[in-house]
Amino acid sequence: MRAGGEKVVVDVTQRFGDLVVLDHLRFSIAANEFVCVLGKSGCGKTTVANLLAGLLPCSEGTVTIDGVPTDPRRHELAFVFQEPSLWPWRTVRDNIRIGLEIKRVPTPELERRVAEMIELVGLRGFEAYYPYQISGGMKQRVAIARAFAVDADLILMDEPFAALDEQTRHGMQAEVLRIWERKKTTVVFVTHNLEEAIYLAERIIVLTEKPARIKASLDVELPRPRDYAHPGFIALRKRLGELMGSAW
């Protein structure tokens, strides 16, 4: 845990019927921190993201942001989903507006922020395109632009690049970091991909298998931009592999 206080505090047990998905999961996140939640598929990572976003009520315990239970109406939240989430009937520009529109940001300010984000994710010239006209990587860039367009207290990313090819994924990871460094936002990035977590995170929270508890919380202090061949990178990958079990 680095300096910056405890902006987001999670302390939940989550059940779906008799199934315990999260078992006394407890962690906190500092302001402007980039945290990766790492776990095997089906361990409850998405549930963590949904709880943080207020899409799911906690069955026991709380998730608070600045001391207040997480609430999409009171907090500025944003979510980058794994599945295609752009509204197909809206153009690139109008998709990026959604969060600002809902929060009733005045038009000049809204236009300014949309233009800034289009510039930042390199989509200039594609503002008037519909989602079906652009590639998968571009669609996720629009989703990222939409998330960063609001001054979010917390941005959730749930395996946002899982459906992209290797090359595009690396490009997008670098891009997310660049935007995060520019906008200084708190990000929780959920993934099952070790390299992705090491490349992105300031801190990695490793979950156990279901019911998920915290297995480890590791600070990543490698210099940026991170190099996959760096000895520290390789050592950390090995360590995480051991933590996650034999299948890795």
Partner 1 sequence: MGAEEVADVLGVATAAPVPREAGRRRSLRVLLHNAAAALAVLAAWQAATFIVHSVFFPSPWQVARAFVDLALNGDVAGHTLLTHMAWSMARLAAGFLMGVVLGVPLGLLMGLYRPLYAGTRAALEPFRFIPPIAWIPLTIVLLSGFPRYVFLIWLGAFFPIFVATLVGVPRVEPIHKNVAKVHGAGRWYILRKVVVPSVLPDILGGMRVGMGTAWMTIVAAEMSGGETTGLGRMMVNYAELIRIPEIVVGMILIGVLGFAMNELLLRIERRLFRWRWEVTL
Give the binding-site size for partner 1 (rule: CB under 8 A): 38
Q: What does each C-alpha distance from 119 to 48, 125, 135, 137 come to in angstroms?
A: 31, 10, 18, 16
Residues 147 and 82: their CA atoms lie apart, in Å, by: 13
Binding of residue 166 to partner 1 (CB under 8 A): no
Q: Which two tokens stand for residue 39?
A: 């776990």
Binding of residue 138 to partner 1 (CB under 8 A): yes
- Our CA dihedral for 53, 58, 62, 65, rounded to 10 degrees, sits at 10
Binding of residue 135 to partner 1 (CB under 8 A): yes
Judged by CB under 8 A, the stretch of 24-32, 128-136, 172-180, 227-235 that binds partner 1 is: 128-136
| 92 φ, ψ (degrees, to nearest 5) | -50, -50
Q: What does each C-alpha distance from 202 to 188, 198, 219 come to in angstroms?
A: 11, 8, 6
Binding of residue 103 to partner 1 (CB under 8 A): yes
CB neighbourhood size of 187 (10 A)? 27
Question: What radius of gyration, in Å, describes the C-alpha atoms of the chain?
Answer: 18
Q: Which of 125, 221, 231, 246 binds partner 1 (CB under 8 A)?
A: 125
Judged by CB under 8 A, the stretch of 5-13, 80-88, 174-182, 223-231 that binds partner 1 is: 80-88
Residue closer to partner 1 (CB basis): 55 or 243: 55
Least separation in angstroms between CB 53 and partner 1: 5
Beta strands in 121-221 (DSSP E): 154-158, 187-191, 203-207, 214-219
Residues 36-55, interacting with partner 1 (CB under 8 A): 53-55
Q: Which of 28, 129, 170, 214 binds partner 1 (CB under 8 A)?
A: 129
Please answer whether residues 39 and 207 qualify as being in contact, where contact means their C-beta atoms are separated by less than 8 angstroms.
yes
Binding of residue 106 to partner 1 (CB under 8 A): no
Residue closer to partner 1 (CB basis): 109 or 227: 109
Name the residues that contact partner 1, by CB under 8 A: 53-55, 71-75, 77-79, 81, 83-85, 87-90, 98-99, 102-103, 125-126, 128-135, 137-138, 146, 150, 156
